[in-house]
Chain A
Amino acid sequence: MKGLLYKDFASTKRETCICALMCVIFLAFAVVTGSQSVLAPTIGIMIAFGAMSPTYSLQYDKTSGWNRFISASPISRNKVIFSKYVFGLVDAAVFTLLTMLANVLTGNALSYLWLSAVLLLILALQAIMLPVCLKLGQNAVAVIFMLLVFVPIGIGAVLYKTGIIDKAFLDSISAAAAAASPVLLFGMLAVAAALLYVISYLLSCRFFQKQEF
């Protein structure tokens, strides 16, 4: 496992540096301008990178031929997939920390609940992206990610514009969330994300077992 994780970090150094550079640029822009409006896109970028990074590793292994080598090694295919999910967890933690940093540096520190929500959202997106990458490839990951981001926004916009949902309804949702116990809310989200992650892992193992190299 150690060797696999070391390989993942060593071989994706270039992509990691590019991601880090983009994060630094966004952070610097937010700090220098003092603009709060940059925060939301910055958080969005962190979530996107956090969700997609493990899929780069999967794709890299496919194109470099590493999958052929590791599938003929003493490491089982399930362990290879497990290492990708561990890589994903580390990734999610790093990008959540960067999100926290972005907010602290712009004087808009997020609560632990909100930061946890960012972490769980990254994990939930990874849980969808990883098996998609294994089954359909990296191009499908990009398409699915766009659909996951824009379809809910689009549906929400259509519902709002047609009056099916209105401001009062949205206010009632916010009030209900504010009234709910943060711990209970976080607990429910954490359980949902964990369940999704486990199902995703099992699905990824199944897809990877069937692959031929």
Chain B
Amino acid sequence: MITTMKNAIDLRGLRKEYKGFTLDNISLSLPMGCIMGFIGENGAGKSTTIKAMLGLIGKDSGEVLLLGKDPLKDRTVMEDIGLVLDSGFFPPEMNAKALGTALSSIYRNWDSAAFQAFLSRFEIDPAKKVKEYSRGMVMKLSLTAALSHKAKLLILDEATSGLDPIVRDDILDLLFEFIEDEQHSVFLSSHITDDLEKIADYVAFLHKGKLVLSAEKDLLLDSFGILKCSEAELQSLSPTSVTGMRKSEFGVTALVKKYELPARYQVEPASLEDIMLYSIKGKRQGKEGL
């Protein structure tokens, strides 16, 4: 059993089975003071993983530790966790002011001054009802609430999906500020890989309920590259160096492990999106994915 507090999140062998879908043996760790981007296509199981972590759904097996504690056994750990989900979860008939009053009795470390400050920063009208907010304002309100009780860990599930680039940038700036002191961590699930490339320290990639990889983002981006060549040239490479390929009318484009290729090959930088696309849709010399 893991007892260290070095990690903000520890998942060991997390499993949840549904009819037609299984979250299968998810194991990952998020060190304190870091941001982890949790990527995967729609339906990969990102939300299921987060819900199992938080106790919103039961798990079939596995261990979950948040800030060193099992949230199902010790509910007090949730005082230190801020949550933003993909859709709003505040009563539509309440306004921000009433919500702040309610939340001040729910969280022991509620900071009303911080709540007011974030409402002003995000230009949220405290008298306006939640049902009158746009999606972006609802996300900002959720983030405001999550940041107003001195949380050490923020968990965001598709929080930036459907938002315009300006609002997304505001949220990313806020997350950067949040982890500045290295005592805070962020776990952010998204299929918008551009956002994660900007801020994540670690990336975990989920595909069809299985964790395909979990690594430092910079290391990942440094390890992989995009090679454009002919099919014959691709066939001449070691199979282990090619992760996925896609055919085009001019030849093939392949996601390759840069350091396993001979020096003569010109490899372009790969983005997280490339890694995701080629892993899911690319074919590795007859086999699919990573």
Contacts and interface: CB of A to CB of B under 8 A. Distances in A.
Is chain B a partner of chain A in the same complex? yes
Interface of A: 1-4, 6-7, 10-14, 60-61, 64-66, 68-76, 212-213
B185 to A, nearest CB: 16
B91 A10 contact: yes
Interface stretch (B105-113, B188-196, B199-207, B265-273): B105-113
A1 B106 CA distance: 7
A152 B104 CA distance: 46
Contacts of B92: 64
Nearest to A68: B89
Given A3-B102, A6-B101, A7-B102, A71 B90 contact: no
B85 interface: yes
B56 A68 contact: yes
B24 to A, nearest CB: 18
B105 A10 contact: no
B98 A10 contact: yes
B232 to A, nearest CB: 53
Contacts of A73: 78, 106-107
Contacts of A12: 93
Interface string B262-283: 0000000000000000000000
B105 A1 contact: yes
A65 B88 contact: yes
Given A68-B85, A74-B78, A76-B75, A212 B90 contact: no
Nearest to B130: A64
Given A4-B106, A10-B98, A69 B57 contact: no
Nearest to B76: A74
9 contacts: A2-B105, A3-B103, A4-B102, A6-B98, A12-B93, A61-B91, A64-B90, A69-B83, A71-B55
B209 to A, nearest CB: 17
B28 interface: no
A213 B57 contact: yes
A11 B130 CA distance: 11
Contacts of B55: 71-72
A72 B102 contact: no
A69 B106 CA distance: 11
Q: Give me the 5 closest cross-chain CB pairs, A-B, nearest first.
A: A3-B105, A65-B89, A11-B91, A69-B89, A212-B57
Given A69-B90, A213-B57, A74 B107 contact: yes
A75 B81 CA distance: 13
Nearest to A60: B91
B87 interface: yes
Interface in B35-80: 51, 54-58, 75-76, 78-79
Interface in B138-193: none
Nearest to B108: A74
Given A3-B103, A72-B78, A66 B90 contact: yes
Contacts of A71: 54-56
B11 interface: no
Contacts of A4: 102, 105-106
A66 B98 CA distance: 14
Contacts of A213: 51, 56-57
Contacts of A69: 83, 85, 89-90
